[in-house]
A = this chain, B = another copy of it.
Amino acid sequence: MLQLYFSPMACSLASRIALMEAGLDARYHQVHLWTKQVADDDSDFKGISPKGAVPVLVLENGERLTESAAVLQYIADVKPEAGLAPPSGDPDRYRLQEWLSFVGAEIHKAFLFPIFWYKDDGSLAKPRARIAQTLSVPSAHLANREFLVGDRFTVADAHLLWALLLLRPAGIDVAQWPSLSAYLERMQARPAVREAIATEMALRKTVPVSPA
């Protein structure tokens, strides 16, 4: 059985959504990102992954895979009939990779990461000034489309919807982009997405937001 190391409402939420959309059973291990401890037994998370970051997917053979772009494609390929990624060889597979990179680099690492981890005004002004231009890209793309890639839900949607959920706690009102706001509402209406978010929001309340 696959195992996912996650932290509630961190970017590993996209991997949980992918697993649930695929109908894959998995064992979930909560990680405290600030202390780098595994909640199960307070063991050192860096023993699982020296990066100290989620998601970490433990494969059936015991190997550990990190980075959302890789983990999400792996999960999609375990259950191809779920259609969570265009098959390899399909030109849309590169579109999926393009969106996974954009969400991971431009929205997550260039904006959300500084907001939630650096926390001093000097570090935040530039990322805040830049986010509107960043979000104009998916906003324009989704003006006349239901999903990011092709005509069905893929792991790229799991990734983007997570990033959009974090905009509000990051101080950005997604309503400024009606197409993103409508998209987020559509995505949250999906049973697997709703259940994944409810599970992690409940867990989220049990952990401190940041170090004391």
Contact = CB atoms under 8 A, between A and B. Distances in A.
Contact of A65 (B51, B89, B98, B110): B98
Interface residue SS majority, chain A: helix
B67 A101 contact: yes
Contact of A136 (B50, B65, B106): B50
Contacts of A140: 50
Nearest to A118: B126
Nearest to A74: B94
Nearest to A57: B94
A61 to B, nearest CB: 8
Contacts of A74: 94
A193 B104 CA distance: 27
Interface string A45-83: 000001100000000000101111110011000000000
Q: Give the number of copies in the complex.
A: 2
Contacts of A70: 94-95, 97-98, 101
A43 interface: no
A41 interface: no
20 contacts: A67-B97, A67-B98, A67-B102, A67-B105, A69-B69, A69-B98, A69-B101, A70-B97, A73-B94, A73-B97, A74-B94, A88-B89, A101-B104, A105-B105, A105-B109, A109-B110, A114-B126, A117-B126, A120-B122, A122-B125
Interface of A: 50-51, 63, 65-70, 73-74, 88-89, 91, 94-95, 97-98, 100-102, 104-106, 108-110, 113-114, 117-118, 120-123, 125-126, 136-137, 140
Given A51-B137, A73-B97, 7 more contacts: A50-B136, A70-B101, A73-B94, A105-B105, A106-B109, A114-B126, A122-B122
